[in-house]
A and B are shown apart, each in its own frame.
Chain A
Amino acid sequence: MTLPGFPDAQPLEGLVGGVLIGISAAIMLLGAGRIAGVSGLLARATGIADSGPPWIMALNFIIGLVLGGLVYALAFGPVAVSYSPSLILLAAAGLFVGFGTRMGSGCTSGHGVCGMSRLSRRSITATLAFMVSGIVTVAVANALGWGW
């Protein structure tokens, strides 16, 4: 399925994948009573965060996340991905993402999916902030020739 005017967009795959992400977050919420926030769970699983869910629980989710990618690739073949060719840029991006998600207490999953659907003003504010910041960054990076 394609979207008129956007030949590269994958609206159907996006929607179905999004529903799966929602189901996963709903299992975490209604099953374990917790937020499926990947940055927080990752910080906990790696021992960087001292508080949060039990360590083994966070580790299970993170292992599951890696397995999920593998399961998909085994079932449907490799996924087309295109990374920035610059490892320096990727390293800088990682630093910002790691520092920023801890400082702002969440990322696209915790604030974006779980918090916004709860109508949390905090999460809606955070999501707007990282969306606007991301849009400005891409525009500036494109102007500097850092796109790929």
Chain B
Amino acid sequence: MVMKQLLTLIAGVIFGIGLTLSGMTDPARVRGFLDIFGDWDPTLAFVMGGALIVMAVAWFIQPKMVKPLVDTTWHLPGTRHIDGKLVGGAALFGVGWGLGGLCPGPAIASLGTAPSPAAIATFVASMLAGMLLHKLVTSKNA
């Protein structure tokens, strides 16, 4: 149990260092990647490439393991169908990503270091509000 907690904490720390080192906590750089019609900055492609190579190896190893190292079973998503909710949600996320140059990981990773706390606090607070809003809307329809 302690191992599981320690493992996720360490994974979070490594993730945060990776995001910061790669320059992904800088919204101007992320926005630069999406600005293919303007002053394009390809850095994000290298970040994605590096992460994908390591994870491709991990997915190759995963089926050969009976169970995860510190848990008794796998907890992996099994959903396969592609619907409007998936595409619409991703498209809405893209709008916010393009507007602010921030996605959830870099936003959280810069909470402790951002030179302009008001900007990052505003973004994170309204991101959580957006998550809550989604919960309210979907629970009303259910």
Task: Please determine whether chains A and B interact with each other in the same assembly.
Answer: yes
Which of A's residues lie within 8 Å of B, judged by CB?
Answer: 3, 6, 8-36, 38-39, 42-43, 46, 48-49, 53, 56-58, 60-73, 76, 78-84, 87, 89-109, 111-114, 116-119, 121-122, 125-127, 129-139, 141-142, 146-148
B97 touches A134 (CB 8 A): yes
4 shortest interchain CB distances as A-B pairs: A68-B16, A64-B12, A98-B130, A17-B22
B100 touches A70 (CB 8 A): no
CA distance A54 to B25 in the complex (A): 27
Binding site secondary structure of chain A: helix
A148 touches B28 (CB 8 A): yes
Residue-wise interface mask of B (117-136) relative to A, using a CB-CB cutoff of 8 A (1 in contact, 0 not): 01110111111111111110
Q: In the complex, which residues of chain B have a beta carbon less than 8 angstroms from the beta carbon of A27? A: 7, 10-11, 14
Could you tell me how many residues of chain B have their Cβ less than 8 Å away from some Cβ of chain A? Answer: 118
Give the distance to chain A from B106, nearest Cβ to Cβ, in Å: 9
Q: A111: nearest residue on chain B (CB-CB)?
A: B90
B54 touches A19 (CB 8 A): yes
A10 touches B22 (CB 8 A): yes
CA distance A28 to B31 in the complex (A): 28
CA distance A3 to B108 in the complex (A): 29
B127 touches A139 (CB 8 A): no
Q: In the complex, which residues of chain A have a beta carbon less than 8 angstroms from the beta carbon of B49? A: 15, 18
CA distance A18 to B65 in the complex (A): 25
A139 touches B128 (CB 8 A): no
